[in-house]
A and B are shown apart, each in its own frame.
Chain A
Amino acid sequence: MKYIVCLKQTPDTTELPKITPEQALAGNEGATLVLNPWDEYAVEEGIRLKERFGGETVALSMGPESVDQALRSALAMGCDRAVRLWDAIFEGSDYWSTALILARGIEKDGGADIIVTGKMSVDGNAAAVAHGIACKLGVTLLTQVAKVVEVANGTITVERLLDEGRETVTAPLPAVISVVKEINEPRYPTFIRIRKASRAPIPVLSAADLGLSPEDVGQQAARVRWVNLVKPEPKQRQVVIIEGESPEEKARKLLDYLIEVEKVL
């Protein structure tokens, strides 16, 4: 069995509020770069799959050299190998070009039985690349996966989280599974694994290696253009502190405001 985890390197979430639009557009966010938190759950699930069903787990990512750090985090958690995909012409790729690049990377590595992704990235927030990968590879797509129940006889059975409840679904392999946080608790890397990961060779595949040309990927192939990026302007509010002799009095006054003045209750 072979599992490929597609992951992204993103800014540390505690630093997201201080990134400016100018920095973001310049591609130089000045923030610490980490393994996308949503993808930690994917890496963990990829490792659990091999622990349960046997086989090999490979970490795959698209990006420049800094991305090796995120791949090494995945190796330190327990992935067997890591591969990076990068070329100058990949810069500015939209969701479907990114998916194409990752799909080609998966095919170049010999394919996979299960491709695992996180739900979205903390910077892009699209929750679309997993759908693109399944589309480009022509394989089963399973999203909102909260549990892998079984992998057997060329099929996978999962529990999916719907807005209304939990659904059990069975589908044929190969499959892309986009996982949600409820699926597991990502493990901490061991010291030995961190050390081993820091020395692991990470091959890099270029556009030529993947059979991709400028028409397929990058800025000019993008189907969506960014024309503006701003910090949101929150509504200016002036707090009214409600005083009173007792909790009951304060509660009464608050409800007076909410019912009579704001008319929201």
Chain B
Amino acid sequence: MTVIVWIDHRRGHVQPASWEALGKARTLAEGPVVAVVMGHSVDNVAEAAIHYGADRVYLYDDAVYADFRFEPYVIALQDVVEAERPSLLLFPGTTRGRDLSAAFACRAELGLAPDAQDVRMVDGKVHAERPVYSGNMIATVVIETTPAVVSLRPRSAPMPEPDTTRQGDIMRKGALVSEEEVPTKVTGFEQTEAGEVSLTDARIIVSGGRGVKGPEGFEPLRELARVLGAAVGASRAAVDAGWIPYKHQVGQTGKTVRPDVYIACGISGAIQHQAGMRESKVIVAINKDPDAPIFQIADYGIVDDLFKIVPALTEEAKKRLGKG
């Protein structure tokens, strides 16, 4: 049984969740693992896919694939699915991965399990576990179609170790449609906050809540995050108060994260926030209020003023981790 994995990248910069999906495919497939890369002049991505575990790569390389658009990407997927007849089509659960998996699955009338945190083969059928009710429940679903289509939540499968000695075939394909045939046109792009660590991919997150008291209150947290190489998160209270943009929100109606360390500063720990971070490997809570619910789900707690503790942590981390 063949598994196809779609690799998510933008202009050659790969979303790490793509490699996690490739690693997951290796554990599932009893047959070949085939990676699909679409883009323009992205041989590096195809080569990396071999290193991360693909047996072969279909590289759709043409200007028409330079930017993600549904029309040419769905057609390219139809092409590789036709050629390989997989049992499973696996996508990283990134924004593009979720978009493309849904658009393709509907076009091909296939069963879809979006944002799965686990995938298994049981008696030849694909079973997936996925959060529903905004993370308050986990549904196990069976996909009745062949192939099945699944998008895998970032950081729910381990990042594989790349093996640069690994060999595999790269099958080059050109454009299957002309630019004239693609109605959607990308006319501009603006990079926002370059160098910011993505919350869903982050290994370390420093997060702020109501206790941060205002937009300036996030500055010490950002400084700690910078020293730790961490992403910055926030509770709904801080976002609703306008102290930090919605894209930083962790929780039931924000992002779900699974870092190795989650440092919650001035966050009370309401159930809705817990839904977004309770799978973190280690949870640290810093809060003046000893009765804050966050201490009930934390591994380590400091009952103190975050404006004293966070700068102290930053200074200590600079010494210990050698970052300035």
Contact = CB atoms under 8 A, between A and B. Distances in A.
A240 B94 CA distance: 35
Interface in B149-181: none
Interface residues of B, number: 92
Categorize the interface residue count of chain A: 35 or more
Interface of B: 10, 13, 15, 67, 70, 94-96, 98-99, 102-103, 105-107, 109-115, 127, 130-145, 183-192, 198, 203-204, 228, 245-247, 252-253, 260-261, 271-272, 274-275, 278-279, 281-285, 295-305, 308-309, 311-313, 315-317, 320-321
| The 3 residue pairs across chains A and B that have the minimum distance between CB atoms | A223-B111, A168-B188, A251-B312
Main secondary structure of the interface of B (DSSP, over half): mixed
B282 A141 contact: no
B137 A125 contact: no
A143 interface: yes
A95 B105 CA distance: 10
Nearest to A139: B183
B87 to A, nearest CB: 15
Interface string A206-238: 000000000000000011111111111011011
A196 interface: no
If over half of A's interface residues share one DSSP class (helix, strand or loop), that class is named, otherwise mixed; here it is mixed
A225 B126 CA distance: 11
Contacts of B113: 224
A260 B277 CA distance: 23
Contacts of B127: 227
A166 B253 contact: no
A164 B10 contact: yes
Contact of A163 (B95, B111, B140): B95
Contacts, number: 245
A168 B187 contact: yes
Contacts of A84: none
Contact of A24 (B133, B187, B308): B133
Nearest to A249: B312
A241 B303 contact: yes
A78 B320 CA distance: 58
Contacts of B105: 96, 128
B103 A239 contact: no
A162 B255 CA distance: 15
Contacts of A134: 103
